[in-house]
Structure 1
């Protein structure tokens, strides 16, 4: 990148776990000076053992930031907070509703200090929801948003997604809200407040499912490894699984040739005569009888030769070794907190500043003196211990 888009923007991140820190990291990757404001005990997701699960979890969300440690329950902490707010452009928090106000950085409070602040508060349900005071972690939002209901086999239990989808989607929306707020400030010269709900963020992904349920009276159900309303899905191979998507007439005809099953052809004989979904189980059995007899690599290669979209079902370690992933630099490493060693993290799908992966997450309060001119003075017992 030539010029960092956010090099003149200072962000105060009052974040923990995923959504707030993920938003902050996206902004830091674009050159923003992201200051992680932490209590003496630090972000609740900090690890206490090097390269434990919690430690790598924290590293994957907090690189390239600076840390200020403030006890916001003290007068000195509040004075330092006001000084920080006066220098900031953006405040991002994913603390529960009511906590920012209790700790002195609610929107009405910070607006009095700096009316040009772009403020984004991500919470489970939003500040004005009847559920505002309910605790909401990623799994709660998965359960309420329809994601769990729509995931799993048709005759099986609803299943959670294998990743923290609502947390990350909300973090992405938070970063968008920051950019929209900065654009508005540039045009109108005033700050803004975005009340962002995790549940709302996930509902935005429902697409046609909402109309199906509310207008058409058809409640969408789980379809397992198939794709709803499209002829695509997962099939068992001799040594693993593949995903096949013979969506068009040409692809379907080619697939029938590869699996040597001309009896498939009448079910999709013309663009306006596609009856495959009405006979899906029967057709899938024919296709899978062939895929089960061939290894994944052969299935993918033979389908690829005739232009039928096909992919292995990657494990995470297989994905990390894939040539595309390596070529696109989506497996990166950053220094461990303290600089002794490194930890593997996902790359960014966007261009980022050159320092994005050269700086690991800060230790608690590492930059307090640098930013505020005062050294941290926490209760040593409150700091999490790290065992090397």
Structure 2
């Protein structure tokens, strides 16, 4: 695949979502990414097979090449070392100690290729008292404070932000290391903790910490903690809220005085724009229920599309609360190339997400299906290691590769 990272070679040994997201980013930007699996297969592939959701696997592995090697076979570990010697980047997210057990620890990989950049994603990183613990997305979101911040400590989250954001930050780390390698000529290890990434995104947690000297004054002003200002479902604010419409829900934001007055004019209550109860930000907080009632009664009599059209005409930020069907047919996403598709010989048209970054003057990066298990084993071993058909057949016979 052509792209800004064309010529970069990446070995993606990771599974499930966090590491594969990093590999997906590199692949969609033109790098040659080889998805390396054991004969048992990626855990995510097995889960999707159980639910007959094979197509979904392609979204996380767009454009990658598929290679199956038995990591635990001595010859398999040797092959991986040879591949690593020819790679620019290696991505892994195995439990602590697994890579060392296979004889593929960082020191050995660096000895084979001093220019190699290795990105390791773990629940709690490679240092600290919790470094030996294993974790999944749910644990990262819980321990990073995201479940609490989202007011759902009693149930799992609806999106895998712990995995997917950690993968994106691993990609950022690799790009920084590649830039540094241009100067030093050497690679390095990148340590990504999913808990760290979740805390980095936990705006309300570090707001609470940063405002600690003034915490009591702020709570007195707002009637709660910092988070209660915008995202407390028990005490919503009229200027930052989700409203039920005649056919769904829509969100409305009217933070400034001008936006508030415009909103009141649109809903037919212009007198509330100058009402002393809503004269300023703090006043609108302290009289939230009256403001919500005014907007809610107006919204309930209109469809979501009507609400969005009316408010958008007055430059009031708003949007539909899209369900899966709606977001997968959103005209704005379609216009931006995010609702992309590629042909697959087995499944026909595969609907795939586009890449969410645009480069000025260039078309959106093309999308390609992901690999079937071991689809490119022979091709990768030939292209990277120069093995011929007879050598590859012997490896297959010995169950080293599939």
Select 1:362's aligned residue among 361, 366, 371.
371
- Residue deviations 1:200-222 (CA, integer Å, cap 9, x gap): 01111123531414652575557
Q: Does 1:88 align with 2:87?
A: yes
Instruction: Using the TM superposition, give the Cα deviation of residue 148 of structure 1 relative to its aligned residue in structure 2, in angstroms.
Output: 0.8
Change (3 A) 1:335 1:41: farther
Runs of 5+ consecutive residues of structure 2 not aligned to the other structure:
220-224, 382-386
| Cα distance in structure 1, aligned partners of 2:298 and 2:237 | 23
Query: TM-score normalized by structure 2?
Result: 0.84
Q: Does 1:193 align with 2:189?
A: yes
| Cα distance in structure 2, aligned partners of 1:181 and 1:294 | 52
SS at match of 1:35: strand
Contact kept? 2:3, 2:365, Cα under 8 Å: no
Query: TM-score normalized by structure 1?
Result: 0.87
Change (3 A) 1:48 1:254: closer
What is the 5 A alignment of 1:237-386? 237-261=245-269, 262-267=271-276, 274-336=282-344, 339-351=346-358, 357=366, 359-372=368-381, 373=387, 374-375=392-393, 377=396
Select 2:159's aligned residue among 163, 174, 189.
163
Change (3 A) 1:299 1:187: same
Instruction: Using the TM superposition, give the Cα deviation of residue 141 of structure 1 relative to its aligned residue in structure 2, in angstroms.
Output: 1.1
Change (3 A) 1:229 1:209: farther
Contact kept? 1:13, 1:92, Cα under 8 Å: yes
Higher relative contact order structure (alpha carbons within 8 Å, sequence separation ≥ 6)? 1
Change (3 A) 1:71 1:240: same
| Cα distance in structure 1, aligned partners of 2:211 and 2:145 | 17
Contact kept? 2:77, 2:104, Cα under 8 Å: no
| Cα distance in structure 1, aligned partners of 2:311 and 2:6 | 47
- 1:203 corresponding residue in structure 2: 199
Q: Give the stretch that moved more between structures: 205-214 or 34-43.
A: 205-214
| Cα distance in structure 2, aligned partners of 1:206 and 1:295 | 33
Instruction: Using the TM superposition, give the Cα deviation of residue 264 of structure 1 relative to its aligned residue in structure 2, in angstroms.
Output: 4.7
Contact kept? 1:63, 1:334, Cα under 8 Å: no
Instruction: Using the TM superposition, give the Cα deviation of residue 304 of structure 1 relative to its aligned residue in structure 2, in angstroms.
Output: 1.8
| Cα distance in structure 1, aligned partners of 2:309 and 2:168 | 35
- Residue deviations 1:292-334 (CA, integer Å, cap 9, x gap): 1222222212212222112111112111222111111211223
Instruction: Using the TM superposition, give the Cα deviation of residue 86 of structure 1 relative to its aligned residue in structure 2, in angstroms.
Output: 1.3
- Residue deviations 1:244-301 (CA, integer Å, cap 9, x gap): 111221111111112222135325776x665111111221112111111222222212
| Cα distance in structure 1, aligned partners of 2:309 and 2:88 | 52
Contact kept? 1:64, 1:357, Cα under 8 Å: no
| Cα distance in structure 1, aligned partners of 2:236 and 2:176 | 34
- 1:23 corresponding residue in structure 2: 22
Change (3 A) 1:273 1:139: closer
SS at match of 2:372: coil
Point out 4+ residue stretches in structure 1 off by more than 3 angstroms: 47-54, 156-161, 217-230, 267-270, 351-359
| Cα distance in structure 2, aligned partners of 1:284 and 1:7 | 52
Instruction: Using the TM superposition, give the Cα deviation of residue 350 of structure 1 relative to its aligned residue in structure 2, in angstroms.
Output: 2.2
Contact kept? 1:209, 1:220, Cα under 8 Å: no
| Cα distance in structure 1, aligned partners of 2:89 and 2:284 | 52
Change (3 A) 1:103 1:378: farther
- Residue deviations 1:316-365 (CA, integer Å, cap 9, x gap): 211122211111121122344x5442322211112499996553222222
SS at match of 2:43: coil
Contact kept? 1:264, 1:283, Cα under 8 Å: no
Change (3 A) 1:351 1:254: closer
Change (3 A) 1:264 1:351: closer
| Cα distance in structure 2, aligned partners of 1:54 and 1:267 | 56
Runs of 5+ consecutive residues of structure 1 not aligned to the other structure:
384-388
SS at match of 1:195: strand
| Cα distance in structure 2, aligned partners of 1:187 and 1:234 | 50
| Cα distance in structure 2, aligned partners of 1:355 and 1:242 | 29
